Amino acid sequence: MSDDTPRVALVTGGSRGIGRACVLRLAADGYDVGFCYQSNEDAARLLEKEAGELGARVRAVRADVSDGASVRAMLAEVNDELGVPETLVTAAGITKDNPLLMMPDDDWHRVIDVNLNGVYNICRAAVFEMMKRRRGSIVNISSVAGVYGNATQTNYSASKAGIIGFSRALAKEVGRYGIRANVVAPGFIDTDMTSVLSDKVKDNAVKSIPLGRLGTADEVADLVGYLASDRAAYITGAVFQIDGGITI
């Protein structure tokens, strides 16, 4: 790749929370950015505008990451509009919490389909072109729940633990092609996903965090941006917890 070739990144779940912050971080870092969103078109178009104001070419595409055909169509659209991504960030994720004995089967399968199968679908679709170019960085967003488990989140914890195993195996497969695969595992981050928690739950969480506060999506995005960059050229198969010390 020549120095003047635009660098392209692709972010799943890009219209909100951590994914949104990653789109803006990568755009500020000089990438052209494609991202997918599930349903909120207004938020996606606003993000297109904000990232574009940072100098990036940006393309938002509606896609369901749990559906392989939808993911492949989204990737083809990004390829046509921006070019082949060399950086992939998988931030799409949902929660459907319940104690195991009260968990509907559909809630188990939907969380696994979006969080884990979604990572498989986009990595499976994107990695071949990276291998051909012998260059690429994949950053998969997991969670500290996937490292340590979390009560009432067997589905979520399983999906996020699966991302870690998937990423480590993938790092071993594709390292010889110049491709890196790493994991970011956030703790309590101030996003719309945590905004639905009660004040009592959030207060108790803050008390258990040595740094005494929730993290921000921008802080996670800064770590993602570093792992995507050439500054992290000798890092692969690693899991980076960004959790304020909650798991110490």
DSSP string of 155-223?
Answer: HHHHHHHHHHHHHHHHHHHHGGGTEEEEEEEE-SEESHHHHTS-HHHHHHHHHT-TT-S-EEHHHHHHH
Tell the residue number behind the tokens 């990568």, with chain if given. 26
Q: What pLDDT, on a 0 to 100 scale, did the predictor assign at position 197? A: 75
Q: What pLDDT, on a 0 to 100 scale, did the predictor assign at position 200? A: 85
Q: Is pTM, for the whole model, over 0.85?
A: yes
| Strands ordered across the beta sheet of 239-242 | 58-62, 31-37, 7-12, 87-90, 136-141, 179-186, 239-242
What mean pLDDT is predicted for residues 74-89? 98
Alpha-carbon gap, residue 146 to 84, rounded angstroms: 30
Q: What pLDDT, on a 0 to 100 scale, did the predictor assign at position 157? A: 98
Name the pLDDT band for 221 (thresholds 50, 70, 90). Answer: very high
pLDDT beyond 60 at 98: yes
Domain boundaries, the chain: 7-241
pLDDT beyond 90 at 179: yes
Cα maximum dimension of the chain: 56
CATH fold of the domain at 7-241: Rossmann fold (3.40.50)
Percent of the chain with pLDDT over 90: 91
Q: What pLDDT, on a 0 to 100 scale, did the predictor assign at position 164? A: 98
What mean pLDDT is predicted for residues 219-232? 98
Percent of the chain with pLDDT over 70: 98
Alpha-carbon gap, residue 208 to 187, rounded angstroms: 11
What mean pLDDT is predicted for residues 52-77? 98
Alpha-carbon gap, residue 189 to 22, rounded angstroms: 14
Residues noted as catalytic: 156
Q: What pLDDT, on a 0 to 100 scale, did the predictor assign at position 149? A: 97
> What integer best gives the mean pLDDT of the chain?
96
